[in-house]
Structure formats: structure tokens, C-alpha cells
Amino acid sequence: MIPNLLLLYVKNPETSADFYRQLLGREPVAAHPTYVAFEFENGFNLSLWSEQARNFVSGGEGHRSEFAFMVPDDDQVKALYDQWQTAGVVIEQPLHDAVFGLTFVALDPDGHRIRVCTPDE
């Protein structure tokens, strides 16, 4: 069994889809009023599900997790940091060295954490 989907609960799928469309530089593979999905070349999918969908149920709230984009080197981390700042993406944690290497954390319109980092050597 291999995980292939990250599902984020969002207030407005259209707003979130626009954010991720710009951030990822790709169009969704599915777009419905309460659900949007993006697919990556490696088979991984990012989906956005409306908290307003009639069959939506969740007993939790808040954002205590994050998803990450691992890039090959520090130059790409820096480039994405600059690109995202220029695009107006909210940066929660600025560029810094962590125990695993250079990283930063951005936020999507619903406050989901998006980390960019290099793989630990």
C-alpha cells in the first residue's frame, strides 16, 4: 500500500484551486463546486474538499500538519522562497536552517502549512 493522496479541507475550493494552480503551475485534473484535485507525475494527488459539502464530516479543527515539497538543493529552496514571496504567498516561517537543512513554511488561504526543504543527507 502506497499513500497517493493528500486531502485538505477548505472553505472555498475555487479560491484554494486558484492559489494552488498558481503555486504549482498546473491545472486541476478534476474541478467541481465542492472538490478539486491536482495530480502529479509521480502519481501523488492533492485534493481540496469543501467544508460546506453536504456530506462533509470532521470532528477536528485547526491545522497541525503540513505537506512538503522536497527539492534537490538550497538554490531551489531559495528560488521558490523568492518566487512565492513575490507572488504574495503568506510566509509563516522565513527561510532558515533546520536540523534537516534549508527550509521555509508558507500558508495557503485556509492556513494549511506548506514546507519547502532539501532532503536530509
Q: Domain extents for the chain?
A: 5-50, 66-117
3-class SS letters over 17-51? HHHHHHHHCCCCCEEECCEEEEECCCCCEEEEEEC
Fold of 66-117: 2,3-Dihydroxybiphenyl 1,2-Dioxygenase; domain 1 (3.10.180)
4-24 pLDDT per residue, tens: 999 999 999 999 999 999 999
88-106 pLDDT per residue, tens: 999 999 999 988 889 999 9
Instruction: State the residue for C-alpha cell 502549512.
Output: 113
Question: Which positions ≥6 away from 70 have C-beta within 8 Å?
Answer: 117, 118, 119
What pTM was computed for the model?
Answer: 0.85
Which helix H or strand E contains 93, and what residues bound it? strand 90-98
Amino acid at 81: Y
Query: Out of 3.40.109.10, 3.40.710.10, 3.30.720.120, 3.40.718.10, which CATH number does the structure's domain 5-50 have?
Result: 3.30.720.120
